[in-house]
Amino acid sequence: MTGGHMGFADRGIVPRCISAIYSEAAARPENNITIKLSYVEIYNELMFDLLTDVGVSEQSGDLAIAEDQKGNIQVRGLSHQAGGTEEQALHIFFQGDTNRHVAEHALNKGSTRSHVVFTIYVESRSRVESSEKVIFSKLHLVDLAGSERVKKTGSDGVMLKEATFINKSLTFLEQVVVALGNKNRDHVPYRQSKLTHMLKDSVGGNCKTTMVANVWPEAKMLEETASTLRFATRMMRVANEASVNVHLDPQLLIRKYERQIKDLKQ
């Protein structure tokens, strides 16, 4: 909900996640661990790369979502930056954070006008075993724009258009959550919005999902707070079955087969 100060939680959660991942990587010297980062903004159903040298105002917003045969989601054209150290990763995050669309309305002087997804990609290869196996994972850290009641925010013009897109995408997200919580469902409407489509492999299925619901303590926001809590309750009903993601490195496989062919010839 708007004004719920998720931005403050986000600033704490993301750096702590980055720190935890790099600490865990340092504790596993037997593995060669590679970490990359991406940061995408979904604004008025357009997608912008927050980590490129090209400013958001100069981008077309036409990044496209693609899905492979295994259901893995990718954003075509989205840049991935290498995070060699924890300090570099933090710098990349804060740099991207400054590029977001922000505006002021009656309830929030720094209202974010978009959803953003900061993603940490981790690949791990064994230094000890001669294996072509690669374990990979990704962590989506999603900051949703708060739902808005126009009568209270006083939004008009451009901000009214932004609020319409924000509320519509949050409604579609709730529809996905409701469908996932229904054991008798025959369809989950992931493709209704860019947000739900991008999060298809992160909400329900092979993943673990945690939601932080931020609310107002004031009585005047009771209706919005109740709505947020209802949504959080529905999210609790979503069942996930996370498993380790392993794929085979094609280059290592080629070398392995070349060695086998050479041995057979001898």
| CATH number of the domain where residue 96 is located | 3.40.850.10
pLDDT of residue 189: 94
1 belongs to a structural domain: no
In a domain, 159, yes or no: yes
Is residue 51 one of the residues assigned to a domain?
A: yes
Residue 19 tokens, joined? 């720190």
**pLDDT tens per residue across span 208-259:** 999 999 888 888 888 888 988 999 999 998 888 887 788 777 776 777 777 7
Please state the φ and ψ torsions of residue 217, each to the nearest 5 degrees: -90, -15
In this predicted structure, what is the pLDDT of residue 157?
Answer: 64
Residue 27 lies in a domain: yes
Query: Predicted confidence band at 148 (pLDDT cuts at 50, 70, 90)?
Result: low
For residue 81, the enclosing domain spans 6-265
Q: How many domains does the chain have?
A: 1
**pTM of the model as a whole:** 0.82
